[in-house]
Amino acid sequence: MNPHRTRIKICGLTREQDVDAAVEAGADAIGLVLYAKSPRGIAAERAAELARRLPPFVTPVLLFVNERVANVRAACAQVPNATLQFHGDESPAFCAEAAGGRPWMRAARIPLDEATPFDLLEFASRYPDAQALLLDAHVEGYGGAGKAFHWSRLPPSVSCHAVLSGGLTPANVADGIVQVRPRFTTLAVDVSSGVEAAKGLKDAGKIHRFVAAVRAADALLARPIHVQLPAT
Interval 180-198: pLDDT, tens? 999 999 999 999 999 999 9
4 falls in which pLDDT band (50, 70, 90)? confident
Q: What is the pTM of this model?
A: 0.93
Query: What number is the average pLDDT over the span 34-44?
Result: 95
The domain of 98 spans 7-221
Q: Is 160 a catalytic residue?
A: no
Secondary structure (3-state) at 31: strand
How many distinct structural domains can be found in the chain? 1
Give me the CATH number covering residue 169: 3.20.20.70
Which of the residues 28, 136, 160, 190 is marked catalytic? 136
Q: Is 190 a catalytic residue?
A: no
Say if residues 35 and 64 touch (Cβ distance below 8 Å). yes
pLDDT tens by residue, 173-183 = 999 999 999 99
156 falls in which pLDDT band (50, 70, 90)? very high
Whether residue 107 lies inside any domain: the answer is yes
Which of the residues 11, 76, 95, 160 is marked catalytic? 11
The Cα 196–Cα 163 span in angstroms is: 20
Residue 93 has pLDDT above 70, yes or no: yes
The Cα 167–Cα 81 span in angstroms is: 28
Whether residue 227 lies inside any domain: the answer is no
**Residue 113 pLDDT:** 83
Whether residue 229 lies inside any domain: the answer is no
The Cα 114–Cα 146 span in angstroms is: 18
**Residue 224 pLDDT:** 72
Query: What number is the average pLDDT over the span 55-83?
Result: 97
Whether residue 1 lies inside any domain: the answer is no
Whether residue 231 lies inside any domain: the answer is no
Whether residue 50 lies inside any domain: the answer is yes
**Residue 138 pLDDT:** 79
C-alpha separations of 48 from 64, 74, 82, 190 in Å:
15, 11, 10, 20
Whether residue 226 lies inside any domain: the answer is no
Q: Of 62-66, 72-76, 143-147, 162-166, which range is least confident?
A: 143-147
Whether residue 24 lies inside any domain: the answer is yes
Residue 30 has pLDDT above 90, yes or no: yes
The Cα 85–Cα 117 span in angstroms is: 24
Say if residues 139 and 160 touch (Cβ distance below 8 Å). no
